[in-house]
Chains A and B, each alone.
Chain A
């Protein structure tokens, strides 16, 4: 391929950012064709970058020729590229789903606002994944949060406004905390570049404190226990298409950087007890999120609480990467993030279809859905596999790797969390499927739903299943990335 890689980099990042205001200005005339074309191009660029990576390996790209420590440095490697590809694919499928405007965002009037936000979010997420320095991460995170909060407002209800306000406040507080950490690190080491920081890192108290500040900020944005309270109302009152993007992609962005900063920079200097503490928070998130999901009466809230639980598993990475099993833990945790993105967006979209067909989404409204919306219910079930960690699914692969890492590093207590969490997940997944299979009564009350939005849900769920069938090559790339970064202590 003779096209220079810069073109593809701009394709994943600058193109959607530029397209966002364009779509806003052009208005309904260019909908939904232009945003669709842009998200398709983003996916093509992402895949092209991946092929270039497989061919030539990871590389860094100095934006506008300004090198570190002054300029903006983008880092293109296996981990960031997999995130970008997953983001682009989820976004494209959500965009396809959103052609059914009534179900996706509650009417064509909102489309004029939704599509610019959608493109803006896509571009800033990709900028976040590509970032190579901690200040750039801060800026991208702000952009992502801005788009995310606006999407919640799009829900339109009083509840949505209240949830968005709370989300905004917590996201801002998180940013402040993160920024304090950034300032501290700059004062200590005189650089913002992640790679240079890793080289200059020293086990001093101030550096540790800086990481604590940054971690708190990122945890707040990821809605990790106990900073999770904003997530369920925000994700459940947003329009369906937005819920899928928020739960699948937005929280993944901040989690991704928490993990990378940990693995590449801070794991060697942070005490074991700190990692164990964060692992314990993750365990609590798994138990609390799942238990809350179990008692929910509304479908979208249930799905939102399960996000908290799933990110709890990922936090187990922190203690596990401080051992010999770092590679297994790292590839398992990231694989969980990726498969969760597909499974969770499939679930939110399917839940949104049921909500659309019934006008309400109480679990009692799901009765008879298996015969009325068979593909959507099938998608819920298949996506549920990843949440439960049952084969065949990406979630199972991830759970197996985390189990292996816990056992081989002797941290058997995480085994209990992994297994118990799966059991609770089975409980809440089947509390949705059970009414769906209940007899044919009440069938008449389902408004008709076209086939293809259902097919989109199913496609996403099928991807999360396929991720459990042939993950080996990708996992090896991820494990290599973990090894290259020093692999913890």
Chain B
């Protein structure tokens, strides 16, 4: 094992070690805790920057050992992995800053930050997993380490949400496990293979079984990716503190599901086999149903976080939709949306958390005039809202452009109407909130105003959404630049399509 094999391990440890250190600290040691947390996040970003440069030059890194006879534990860095790792590393740093401000003065912070770092470690593990077995290990770790965060407040609603969350995700994990074990028994150890997939050239006798395995795998991932009808847990989990909703339920957990589906289609089955077995079309229908259903439900919600949660349900399916169309532009759209949706949705959740924390505003109907009181926050909210509607020049526009292009390439012209309809619905549930915020007239006091200083809210709460809102614009305006998600998505698509 040479030095470069350690890189994937270091990426993992840069959040695992802080998690363990935080558990070892005592509750009142807030300064030490924050230092460890931020150091971990910064170290991880530095590592990511270095590795990105290497991957860009075509290097691959792998760390592996035999966990079970013939079954390896493998962490591998490839372009697709780095897309997800970079996303989570950047957002982890921002969310940590946000969470430190958000939770200041509340009990059980040790538990919170410990499990929070553990979740990030699990996410990085998912991204770097070099085979389905390793993927599963971290997938379940993510489930379990999120539970204490969902029930963090310890009240009846959060415990109930935690129960539902576990019931869904543990069941999903079990289905996934059966699928993976079956696949291993059938064809032996399955690593993720860029260009063509691991199952290329498998004998035709296995096709029926492989089709069933695909259903099991995707059903397992669909729970976390919140595909209808397995999405119920997501809106319920919104009782968690805002940083959890922001990073986990907009990015890490749900993306783990979507990312798993992408891995299975492209790196396990491979595009050719997926086309032969016609795996995409059933999935396509489910995603279309999810996109429309999520948006319709979002329209009915008055609670801001719940509205955002249903919007997540809908937006996530864009990724799976792009992955199931199986054309080059569609996969670019899917991958680029993986990043764009994360950046935009985390901004919205940050803003929702600020509204709730600073002014006690939880509902869309209470947003009247909030733009005058909190112009910066509202600006960030507006930019990301426009992104969700896919207006140019935001990042959301780029994703949708490629998805639409891919759908037409693949001969699914009708998907364009779905995208259009969803865009209209997105406008229908974001514009009223934005309109009330800027132009609504405020009557009376704010429900529960807690912060009155020169700045509109604590700096640690305000900076993260401003950064992510800026990124939303940046990714839209400079989509062709080498560090933009679009550039990487195209790079990965080239690798996967083998052009």
| Cβ 8 A contact of B185, one of A388, A407, A423 | A407
Q: Mark A426-445, 1 if CB is under 8 A from B, else 0.
A: 10001001100111100000
Q: Mark A333-355, 1 if CB is under 8 A from B, else 0.
A: 00000000000000000000000
Q: Are A439 and B174 in contact (CB under 8 A)?
A: no
Q: Are B68 and A403 in contact (CB under 8 A)?
A: no
Q: How far is the CA of A415 from the CA of B174 in the complex (A)?
A: 10
Residues of chain B with a CB closer than 8 A to A328's CB: 69
Q: Are A475 and B107 in contact (CB under 8 A)?
A: no
Q: Are B181 and A434 in contact (CB under 8 A)?
A: no
Q: Mark B181-192, 1 if CB is under 8 A from A, else 0.
A: 110110000000
Q: Are A426 and B170 in contact (CB under 8 A)?
A: yes
| B side interface size, CB within 8 A | 35
CB of A472 closer than 8 Å to a CB of B: yes
Residues of chain B with a CB closer than 8 A to A422's CB: 170, 174
CB of A479 closer than 8 Å to a CB of B: yes
Q: Are A407 and B182 in contact (CB under 8 A)?
A: yes
Q: How far is the CA of A225 from the CA of B184 in the complex (A)?
A: 32
CB of B275 closer than 8 Å to a CB of A: no
Nearest CB of chain A from residue B292's CB, rounded to whole Å: 32
Nearest CB of chain A from residue B49's CB, rounded to whole Å: 29
| Cβ 8 A contact of A470, one of B67, B136, B155, B166 | B67
Residues of chain B with a CB closer than 8 A to A404's CB: 181, 184-185
| A side interface size, CB within 8 A | 39
Q: Give residues of chain B (15-52) contacting chain A, Cβ–Cβ below 8 Å.
A: 23
CB of B427 closer than 8 Å to a CB of A: no
Given contacts A371-B108, A391-B137, contact A440 B67 (CB under 8 A): no
Given contacts A434-B162, A440-B107, contact A403 B181 (CB under 8 A): yes
Q: How far is the CA of A328 from the CA of B68 in the complex (A)?
A: 10
Nearest CB of chain B from residue A27's CB, rounded to whole Å: 40
Q: Are B185 and A408 in contact (CB under 8 A)?
A: yes
Q: How far is the CA of A407 from the CA of B166 in the complex (A)?
A: 26
Closest A residue by C-beta to B143: A390
CB of B154 closer than 8 Å to a CB of A: yes
CB of A400 closer than 8 Å to a CB of B: yes
Q: Are A438 and B140 in contact (CB under 8 A)?
A: no
Nearest CB of chain A from residue B145's CB, rounded to whole Å: 10
CB of A63 closer than 8 Å to a CB of B: no
CB of A447 closer than 8 Å to a CB of B: no
CB of A370 closer than 8 Å to a CB of B: yes
Q: Are A469 and B67 in contact (CB under 8 A)?
A: yes
Q: How far is the CA of A415 from the CA of B179 in the complex (A)?
A: 11
Q: Are B174 and A423 in contact (CB under 8 A)?
A: yes
CB of B408 closer than 8 Å to a CB of A: no
Q: Are A472 and B69 in contact (CB under 8 A)?
A: yes
Q: Is the interface of B mostly helix, strand, loop or mixed?
A: helix
Q: Give residues of chain A (419-465) contacting chain B, Cβ–Cβ below 8 Å.
A: 419, 422-423, 426, 430, 433-434, 437-440
CB of A5 closer than 8 Å to a CB of B: no
Q: Are A407 and B68 in contact (CB under 8 A)?
A: no
CB of B148 closer than 8 Å to a CB of A: yes
| Cβ 8 A contact of A437, one of B71, B148, B173, B177 | B148
Nearest CB of chain B from residue A224's CB, rounded to whole Å: 24
CB of A183 closer than 8 Å to a CB of B: no
Q: How far is the CA of A437 from the CA of B147 in the complex (A)?
A: 10
Nearest CB of chain B from residue A89's CB, rounded to whole Å: 22
Closest A residue by C-beta to B27: A371
CB of B442 closer than 8 Å to a CB of A: no
Q: Give residues of chain B (62-80) contacting chain A, Cβ–Cβ below 8 Å.
A: 65-69, 71
Q: Are A471 and B67 in contact (CB under 8 A)?
A: yes
Residues of chain B with a CB closer than 8 A to A471's CB: 67-68
| Cβ 8 A contact of B171, one of A381, A423, A438 | A423
Q: Are A419 and B185 in contact (CB under 8 A)?
A: no
Q: How far is the CA of A381 from the CA of B66 in the complex (A)?
A: 26
CB of A32 closer than 8 Å to a CB of B: no
Q: How far is the CA of A396 from the CA of B139 in the complex (A)?
A: 13
Q: Give residues of chain B (153-204) contacting chain A, Cβ–Cβ below 8 Å.
A: 153-155, 159, 162-163, 166, 170-171, 173-174, 177-178, 181-182, 184-185
Q: How far is the CA of A79 from the CA of B343 in the complex (A)?
A: 53
Q: Are B66 and A472 in contact (CB under 8 A)?
A: yes
Residues of chain B with a CB closer than 8 A to A438's CB: 154, 159
Closest A residue by C-beta to B174: A419
Q: Are A374 and B67 in contact (CB under 8 A)?
A: no
Residues of chain A with a CB closer than 8 A to B108's CB: 370-371
Residues of chain B with a CB closer than 8 A to A392's CB: 137, 141
Q: How far is the CA of A422 from the CA of B185 in the complex (A)?
A: 21
| Cβ 8 A contact of A385, one of B144, B162, B171 | B144
Closest A residue by C-beta to B144: A390
Q: Are A423 and B170 in contact (CB under 8 A)?
A: yes
Nearest CB of chain A from residue B102's CB, rounded to whole Å: 19
Q: Are A440 and B185 in contact (CB under 8 A)?
A: no
Q: How far is the CA of A390 from the CA of B176 in the complex (A)?
A: 12
Q: Are B177 and A439 in contact (CB under 8 A)?
A: no
Q: Mark A236-256, 1 if CB is under 8 A from B, else 0.
A: 000000000000000000000
Closest B residue by C-beta to A378: B23
Nearest CB of chain A from residue B415's CB, rounded to whole Å: 36
Q: Give residues of chain A (467-484) contacting chain B, Cβ–Cβ below 8 Å.
A: 469-472, 475-476, 479
Q: Give residues of chain A (347-397) contacting chain B, Cβ–Cβ below 8 Å.
A: 370-371, 374, 378, 381, 385, 388, 390-392, 396-397
CB of A401 closer than 8 Å to a CB of B: yes
Interface set of A (CB-CB < 8 Å, partner B): 328, 331, 370-371, 374, 378, 381, 385, 388, 390-392, 396-397, 400-401, 403-404, 407-408, 415, 419, 422-423, 426, 430, 433-434, 437-440, 469-472, 475-476, 479
Kindly list 13 other residue pairs between chains A and B, CB separation below 8 angstroms, not including A430-B147, A472-B67. A331-B69, A370-B108, A378-B23, A381-B144, A390-B173, A404-B184, A423-B171, A438-B154, A438-B159, A471-B68, A472-B68, A475-B68, A475-B69
Interface set of B (CB-CB < 8 Å, partner A): 23, 65-69, 71, 107-108, 111, 136-137, 140-141, 144, 147-148, 151, 153-155, 159, 162-163, 166, 170-171, 173-174, 177-178, 181-182, 184-185
In the complex, 8 of the A-B residue pairs with CB atoms within 8 angstroms, ordered by the A residue number, are: A370-B108, A370-B111, A390-B170, A400-B68, A404-B185, A419-B174, A439-B155, A440-B154
